[in-house]
Amino acid sequence: MSLLPILIAPDPRLKVQALTVDKIDEGLNRLIDDMFETMYQAPGIGLAAPQVGVAKRLVVIDIAKKDEDRQPMALLNPEILWFSDETSDYEEGCLSVPEHYAEVTRPARVRVRYMDRQGEIREIEAEGLLSTVLQHEIDHLTGKLFVDHLSTLKRGMILRKLEKAKKQAVRM
Ligand code: NI
């Protein structure tokens, strides 16, 4: 397994429409393992393939707390089948938007259909943190970041800071 570099916004590769995964082969399994390792090392609770420069509809999630056993979930071609009218607010962050957090309002509950890494089609209904993470990660597959849910002013402020930090990093 190996760690993958995580793209930092603003980056055009984070804005792509990811493509459907149509076969589960050795390469895809290696990518899933590498994405888990990269997410755990970061550390983060979710990572979408476009964040490591792969335009595929694939996300990995593990919302287990530090003192709990790992609960890795790999979701291929996830889609939201239903979401509640009721909303909830969550302070979100993103490995591609380091050191910035903001409250995002989303549907409180969702039902998601996906394929697991064995090729089985599954459906889950989620609420709370898992619901938020699922929606956040699935957003990445259509080129959307949590900052796209904020006001233009807030989004612009965060992206400008990230851009500035990137330029400084290149000079070092
Ligand atoms: Ni993210």
For the chain, which domains are there? 12-171 (3.90.45.10)
Q: Report the alpha-carbon distance of residue 152 to residue 75 in Å, rounded.
A: 31
How many angstroms does the Cα of residue 36 sit away from the middle of ligand 1? 14
Q: What is the pLDDT of residue 170?
A: 72
How many angstroms does the Cα of residue 47 sit away from the middle of ligand 1? 6
Tokens linked to 111: 């039902």
Neighbours of 105 (CB within 10 A): 10
Classify residue 96 as left (phi > 0), alpha (psi -120 to 50) or beta: alpha
Q: What is the pLDDT of residue 146?
A: 98
Tokens linked to 42: 């970061």
Residues carrying an active site annotation: 137
How many angstroms does the Cα of residue 144 sit away from the middle of ligand 1? 9
Q: Report the alpha-carbon distance of residue 134 to residue 78 in Å, rounded.
A: 9
How many angstroms does the Cα of residue 111 sit away from the middle of ligand 1? 19
Q: What is the pLDDT of residue 158?
A: 97
Classify residue 77 as left (phi > 0), alpha (psi -120 to 50) or beta: left
Q: What is the pLDDT of residue 27?
A: 97
HSE (CB half, 13 Å, CA atoms) of 154?
11
- Digits of tens for pLDDT over the chain (172 positions)? 899 999 999 999 999 999 999 999 999 999 999 999 999 999 999 999 999 999 999 999 999 998 999 999 999 999 999 999 999 999 999 999 999 999 999 999 999 999 999 999 999 999 999 999 999 999 999 999 999 999 999 999 999 999 999 888 877 6
Residue 104 burial (C-beta neighbours within 10 Å; 0-12, 13-18, 19+):
buried
Residue 127 burial (C-beta neighbours within 10 Å; 0-12, 13-18, 19+):
middle
Q: What is the pLDDT of residue 172?
A: 62
Q: What is the pLDDT of residue 93?
A: 98
How many angstroms does the Cα of residue 44 sit away from the middle of ligand 1? 9
